[in-house]
Amino acid sequence: MKGAEIKKTINDLITENGDWTLFADGFDDAILGIDYSSQRVIYSVKKCYQILMNGENNMTQDEAEEYFAFNVLGSFVGEKTPIFCYDLF
């Protein structure tokens, strides 16, 4: 499944239960799944870095890490803020 399809599937599952969630814009392909208890979307930090380094962003590893830390991890938007996992895979 592509990131957009995964996002729609997750959104459908969550809204079926009458709840809602938030997604990180531009990182659909980094979605790992959802947290069972909080219904928050979980993203792979490693995949987020790859998204920033590829395509139109074309950042270096250091630039991607700095951008991600400041603009993504540094953004708290309430109880449904996505979870970012430092995966080891």
The pLDDT tens digits for 22-78 are 888 889 899 998 888 888 899 999 999 999 999 788 899 999 999 999 999 888 778
SS3 category, 87: coil
Q: What are phi and psi of 68, to 5 degrees?
A: -60, -45
Beta bridge pairs of residue 42:
33, 83
The domains of the chain are located at: 3-85
84 close to 73: Cβ distance less than 8 angstroms: yes
Strands (E), 1-89: 31-34, 41-44, 83-85
